[in-house]
Amino acid sequence: LCAPDDVTGFSAYIIKLLRDEALRQQMGQAAREHVEAHFSARGNMHQFTNALERLLEQ
């Protein structure tokens, strides 16, 4: 989005998001997909299973 500590850039991006509905929709969908992939019960089970498999291989 912007560089760390770039208050001006952050403010400009927030304004851009307020004005651009398509961008808000796109970012919202991407965020939802990320959460579903990384924080769902199925995703957690998959990560846990992979970790166990790596431990058993050692």
Residue position matching structure tokens 């058993």: 56
Task: Confirm whether 38 is domain-assigned.
Answer: yes
Say what the pTM is: 0.60
Domains of the chain: total: 1
17-56 pLDDT tens trace: 999 999 999 999 999 999 888 888 887 888 899 999 999 9
Task: Confirm whether 1 is domain-assigned.
Answer: no
The secondary structure of residue 40, as a DSSP letter, is: S
The secondary structure of residue 47, as a DSSP letter, is: H
Closest CA to 6 of 52, 31, 14: 14
Q: Residue 12 belongs to what domain range? A: 7-57
pLDDT, position 40: 83
